Amino acid sequence: MAALGHAILIIAFLLCLYGAGASIYGVRTGANDWIVSGRRSVYTLAVLMVIAFALVEDAFIANNFHFRIVASSSATTIPLYYRMAAPWSSQQGSLLLWVTLLSFWSSIVLFLTRRRMREIAPYATATLLGFAAFFDGLAIFYSNPFSQLPAGQVPVQGNGLDPLLMHPTMMIHPPMLYTGYTLMAVPFAFAVGALISGRLNSEWIRDTRRFALAAWLALGTGIMLGMLWSYTELGWGGYWGWDAVENAALLPWLTMTAFIHSIQIQEKRGMLKVWNVSLVLLSGVLTIFGTFLVRSGVLDSIHAFGASTLGVPFVILLAVMFFGSIGLVLWRRDSLRTEHRIDALLSREAAFLLQNVVLVALVFVIFWITVFPLISQALTGTKVSVGPPAFAPFVVPLGLALVLLTGVGPMISWRRATVANLRKNFVFPVSVGMIVLVLCLSVLNTGGHLLATLMFGFGAFVIAGVVQEFHRGASVRRTLTHRSYPASMYGLVRRNRRRYGGYLVHLGFAAAMIGVAASSAFEHSNTVTLAPGQSTVVGHYRFSYVRPTESVSSEKVVLGALINVTQNGRHVTTLRTERGIYPNTADAAGDGIVGQYFDTANADTTVGLDTGPLKNIWSVVQSEPTTRMVTLINSGNRLLFKAEATILARTRGESAAAQDYAVNHDPIDGLTLPQIRNIAVAGIARQYVTHPIPVQFLLIVSPMVMWLWLGGAMMVLGAVISLWPAPLAARRRELALYRSRLARELA
C-alpha cells in the first residue's frame, strides 16, 4: 500500500510537469491536441490524488501503525470518525489533502470552461499544475505521508490524536480552510492566464467569479468553525486571539471580499481592471503566505507546525508569485486601462471603492502587526511582539467604517446619487440606526464604550437597509404577480439570487459585528479559586461551586465541577464543566501503569456554557489530580509494577508475545493486571470527589455572542444562495447581457 501510494505521488508529480508543459506548448503553437492533453492531465491527477488520499484514510481506519503518520497521530482507542479526520492533523496528511482538493477543484473549473477562454485556460492549467507539482513535491521530498516505520519499531498502539482536535468542528474546519485556499488558486491561475494571453476583457472574471465566491464561502466557513472550536474547546473564553495563523487565514478572505465587490464595478462599468486583477493576485499570494506561516514555524503560533524544513521552498514560491504578479501587471498595464472614471463621490462605485480601500487597509494593518516580530528581528536582532491590544486602535475604526459602507453600498445609486435617491433609500435605515444609537446611550447607558455603541447604531442601520430592500422588492413583486407576500419574497430571492444572497450576507455581517462589539466591550470575566460551597460574583451573576464531579471510562478520566448560577437570588442555570484526561500512551513508561491515566499532558476541557440571544454564561475548571491522588497514584504504580515484574519473572524465556499475553491475562488473586489497574484508576478518581480541594475557575459573562454565530450562519446561507445556479431564464438573460458587453469590449 505504502509503495503504491509513494509511486502515485511520483507519477502525479511527473504528470503535473507534463500537463503544464503540454498546455503551454499547445497554446504557443496553436496545437489544440496538446491543450486538451494538458487539461486531461488535471483530470487524471485528481483521480490519482483521490486514490492516494484513500490509501492514507484506509491506513488510519485500519490502524496500520506501519505508516509513520498513523503511529504518530492515531490510536486504536480513537473513535472511527475522528480516525478518519486524523490525516489532516499531521503535516504530511494535510499536504496530501491540499493537492487532492486542488486537483479536484481544478478539474471542475477546467471542465466547465473547456469550450471557453481558449487562450487563457491553457496558461491557467499550467499555473494550477505548477501549484500541484509544488505541493506534491513537498509531499515526496520533505513530508511523505507514505513513510513507513522500520519493522522493529512498529508500535502496538499509536501516540493518539491530540484530545483538543477530537471535536466535531475539527472534522470540518481544516478541510473547509483547505477548500478555501485551493479554490483561491483558481481565480489566481485565470488571472495569470488572462495577463499572459492579454485577453483582459470581462470573460475570465465572469467565469471565475463563482469560484472566487466559493473560495470566499469555504474560507469564511472554515474561519467561523475555527472560532467556534476556540470558544467551546480551547478553554480561554475567546473566539479570536489574533494568532498569526488565524490572521493568515483572514487576510486572503478580506482581499477576496474586496474583489467580490469591486468586480461588480468592472462588470457594470469596465472600471478598476488593474485593481481587480491585483486583488486576485494578492489573494493568491496571501493564501500561500498563510500556508507558509503554518508550515515554516517562523512565527510562534498555537497552530504553527514546529521545527519544519518547509520554509525555504515556500519562500521561493512566494517570491516567484509576488514578483511574477507585479511583473505581469506592469507588462499589461496598457490593456488594463480603465474605460470610465467615477462620476461622483456619492455613487455606488465610490462607496464600493472606499469599502475596498478600507478592506485593503485592514489587510495591511493585520499583515504588519502579524509579521512585525520578523521585521523587528531583522532590524534590531530581537523579536518584538505587539500582541492583540495593538490591533484594536486600527481594526475597530476600520471595522466601523466597513459596517457603515456595508449599509451604504447597496442602497446608493450607480454613477451619481440624487437627493431623491438618498431620501428614498436612506431615511428609514438612518432613522433606525439613530434610534438604536440614542437608546443605547440613554437607556442602556453604554456611553463608556462609545465605539461599541456606534457599532450597534451602524449595525442597526445596515439591518434596516437590508430589510427595506427585501420589503420593497417583495411588495413590487406582489403587485406584479398578485401572489402572497411570502411567495413574493421567495420568488424575489429565487430570481435574483446573487443580489439578495448578497443582502443576506450583509445582514449576517452586521449581526456578527454587533455580536463582536457587544461581547468584546461588555464582557465580565474572573479567574478565581473556589472550594465547594464558595461563590463569586461575575457581572450581575453569582457563581457557586456546588461540588466536584468525576467519571471514568475506557477512553478517559474526567474531573469536573458543578456550578450553580443565580441572579438576585433567582436560579439562572446550572453549569457542568469538566477536564477529560486521556491515557498518555506515548509516555506510559515514564508515568507508570496507573499514572498514565492522570497525566494532564493529554487533557481537554469541556466548557460549561449557557447560551442565549442576549448573554452567554461560560465557565471552565482547571481540574488537576490532588496531592492525595498523586500519593495514591505513586503507590498504585509501585504495586502494579511489582506485580508485572513477578509475572515477567515467571514467564522468563518465553516469547515477547507470550509474556505480553501473560501480563494482560494471568490472574493475581482472581483479577488480571488490567482489571486491578482499572479498579485503582476508578478508586483514585473517586478521591477527587470524596476529598475535594479548592480549584481554579475561569468564569465569563459575555453578551450577544450568539449573534456572531447566527450572523456567520446567515453569511454562509447568503453566499450559498448567491452561488446557487440561477433558473434557466435568468441565466439566459445574464448571458445575453454578458455577450452584449463582450461585443462592446471587442469592438
Interacting residue ranges for other proteins, rule: CB under 8 A: 72-73, 89-92, 142-143, 159, 161-165, 234-236, 294, 300-309, 341, 357, 361, 364-365, 368-369, 372-373, 376, 382-387, 389-390, 393-394, 527, 529, 579, 599-601, 603-605, 620, 622, 624, 694, 696, 698
Residue 35: CB minimum distance to other proteins, A: 39
| 589 Cβ neighbours under 8 A, 6+ residues apart | none
Residue 600: CB minimum distance to other proteins, A: 7
User: Which residue, 215 or 607, has its beta carbon nearer to other proteins?
Assistant: 607
User: Which residue, 257 or 619, has its beta carbon nearer to other proteins?
Assistant: 619
Cα-to-chain-centroid distance, residue 145: 23
Phi and psi (nearest 5°) for 524?
-120, 135
User: Which residue, 436 or 581, has its beta carbon nearer to other proteins?
Assistant: 581
In this structure, are residues 659 and 651 in contact, taking their beta carbons and an 8 Å threshold?
yes
User: Which residue, 370 or 453, has its beta carbon nearer to other proteins?
Assistant: 370
| 89 Cβ neighbours under 8 A, 6+ residues apart | 73, 161, 162, 165, 170, 174
User: Which residue, 264 or 296, has its beta carbon nearer to other proteins?
Assistant: 296
Distance set, CA 18 to CA 52, 135, 324, 422 (Å): 19, 16, 22, 58
Residue 673: CB minimum distance to other proteins, A: 27
User: Which residue, 457 or 608, has its beta carbon nearer to other proteins?
Assistant: 608
Phi and psi (nearest 5°) for 198?
80, 5
Q: Nearest CA to 94 among 214, 215, 222?
A: 222
- Containing 392, the helix (H) or strand (E) segment is helix 392-411
Sign of CA dihedral 293, 296, 297, 299: negative
Residue 430: CB minimum distance to other proteins, A: 25
User: Which residue, 381 or 670, has its beta carbon nearer to other proteins?
Assistant: 381
Residue 529: CB minimum distance to other proteins, A: 5
User: Which residue, 600 or 672, has its beta carbon nearer to other proteins?
Assistant: 600
User: Which residue, 145 or 508, has its beta carbon nearer to other proteins?
Assistant: 145
User: Which residue, 367 or 490, has its beta carbon nearer to other proteins?
Assistant: 367
Identity of residue 349: E
- Containing 529, the helix (H) or strand (E) segment is strand 524-530
Locus of grid cell 449581526? 511
Residue 252: CB minimum distance to other proteins, A: 20
- Alpha-carbon Rg for the chain, nearest whole angstrom, is 29
Residue 5: CB minimum distance to other proteins, A: 18
Residue 89: CB minimum distance to other proteins, A: 5
Identity of residue 676: I
354-358-363 Cα angle (round to 5):
145
User: Which residue, 90 or 255, has its beta carbon nearer to other proteins?
Assistant: 90
Residue 608: CB minimum distance to other proteins, A: 14
Residue 310: CB minimum distance to other proteins, A: 9
| 229 Cβ neighbours under 8 A, 6+ residues apart | 167, 169, 170, 173
In this structure, are residues 503 and 469 in contact, taking their beta carbons and an 8 Å threshold?
yes
Residue 469: CB minimum distance to other proteins, A: 30
C-alpha cell at 40: 486531461
User: Which residue, 162 or 666, has its beta carbon nearer to other proteins?
Assistant: 162
SS (H, E, C) 638-699: HHHHHHHHHHHHHCCCCCHHHHHHHHHHCCECCECHHHHHHHHHHHHHHHHHHCCCCEEEEE
User: Which residue, 339 or 734, has its beta carbon nearer to other proteins?
Assistant: 339
Specify the 3-state DSSP secondary structure of 507: helix
C-alpha cell at 583: 491515557
User: Which residue, 390 or 730, has its beta carbon nearer to other proteins?
Assistant: 390
Virtual CA dihedral for 311, 313, 316, 322, nearest 10 degrees?
A: -80
Residue 306: CB minimum distance to other proteins, A: 5
Alpha helix (H) ranges present in 522-667? 588-591, 627-650, 656-665
Residue 555: CB minimum distance to other proteins, A: 16
In this structure, are residues 249 and 243 in contact, taking their beta carbons and an 8 Å threshold?
no
Identity of residue 409: G
What order do you get walking across the sheet with 570-581 strand by strand?
Answer: 535-538, 541-552, 557-567, 570-581, 603-606
Residue 586: CB minimum distance to other proteins, A: 8
C-alpha cell at 393: 486602535
Rounded Cα gap, residues 747 and 743, in angstroms: 6
Distance set, CA 106 to CA 195, 207, 216 (Å): 19, 13, 16
